[in-house]
Structure 1
Amino acid sequence: MKKNNVKLGKVYAVKVSGSVVPVRLDRENPHGGWDGTNVKTKKSVRIKSAQRLRGLWPKKTMPIVEEPITPAEAQAIHHADQENARLDEERRHAPDGQTASERAMATSAPKSKKRRKAAKEAIGESGRDTGEPGATGAKKERNSLLNLAAKVLAESGEPMNCQQMVEKVLATGLWQTEGKTPAATLASAILREITKKGEAARFRKVDRGKFVAAQ
């Protein structure tokens, strides 16, 4: 769903830990997304993006057909949700509303500002490579775990599991985390991209827990 179509107070179908459940959106979360309530269990649910919403919860005559999911995939999603809940809890108890890693990134921002300035001078303000006049600069991707994993997977040219991809990404120095289960978080993100984008996804599952870069 698109964010501008989402309305507070409505009940939406949301996939939580491998199951599609009815969740009422109660309020916007200050860190993005929404805070809601599982209508069946009455438990609080954090919805980080509109992509997790599968539309309004239907009537009994319009049941949702769940996508098949393996136990390993369900466990990966469960671990990722647990990690997100832990980070949310850390933010709630922090005076500045940030996790330790977010605070460290904010502290290092002045240093990275000089590096960004040097990068701008290297590619030019228009996004063109100043060494090749007229060359068109491609839109830069954010250095997220998912984007960097897609890059290292494509460069490896062979199947990799999520733990191997995380180790390669950490070795680049472009992404760091204090999370306890980054591999599970990555697995969840990859599966969501495959489900959402289908043939346009950057990953292909080839074996139990292993992926290759899409051609």
Structure 2
Amino acid sequence: MATKTKTAAKKTTTKKTATSKAATAKKTPAKPAAQKKPAAKKTTAKSGDKKMSALDAAAKVLGESKEPLNAKTMIERMAAKGYWTSPGGRTPHATLYAAIIREIQTKGKESRFLKADRGQFTLNK
């Protein structure tokens, strides 16, 4: 009877040397240098020319109002007075509400707004 003998196969590992890395780097084409874009022209805008943000317009509307307002009423008054108009969103009142709440939470006592009642806001004086 014949017996089978097992021979251990030697694993060979190859290490990349610095020259082989350099050789592969040379084979890849170099990326073109990013072209610098010309700087945008700076214009000096007067305070009347600059567009007002929704939060700034809400603060202005609340300052003119003697009573607390909800976000929907603020949006309507801002549009009527021309302070700010929605850029086409379906629920600008929800966006304004969330922005006011976020300012109250992040700035705390230094916030421009106070929550007077459920859904009602006033200015922090």
TM-score relative to the length of structure 2: 0.58
- Deviating above 6 A after TM superposition, structure 1's stretches of 4 or more consecutive aligned residues are none
Aligned CA-pair RMSD: 2.6
C-alpha contact (below 8 Å) 1:204/1:214 kept by paired residues: yes
Partner of 2:95: 185
Partner of 2:53: 144
Partner of 2:40: none
> Between Structure 1 and Structure 2, how many residues are aligned?
81
Q: Cα offset for 1:149?
A: 0.4
Q: Cα offset for 1:158?
A: 1.0
More strand by share: 1
State the Cα deviation string for residues 47-78 of structure 1 (Å, max 9, x = none): xxxxxxxxxxxxxxxxxxxxxxxxxxxxxxxx
Matched, 1:195 2:105: yes
State the Cα deviation string for residues 110-142 of structure 1 (Å, max 9, x = none): xxxxxx98xx5xxxxxx8xxxxxxxxxxxx985
Q: Cα offset for 1:157?
A: 2.1
Partner of 1:162: 71
- One-letter amino acid matched to 1:147: D
Q: Cα offset for 1:186?
A: 0.2
C-alpha contact (below 8 Å) 1:203/1:214 kept by paired residues: yes
- Where does the alignment leave 5 or more consecutive residues of structure 1 unmatched? 1-115, 121-126, 128-139
2: CA distance, partners of 1:147 / 1:155: 13
Partner of 1:153: 62
1: CA distance, partners of 2:121 / 2:50: 21
Call closer, same or farther: CA 1:196–1:180 in 2, change over 3 Å: same
**Greater Rg over alpha carbons, structure:** 2
Matched, 1:212 2:122: yes
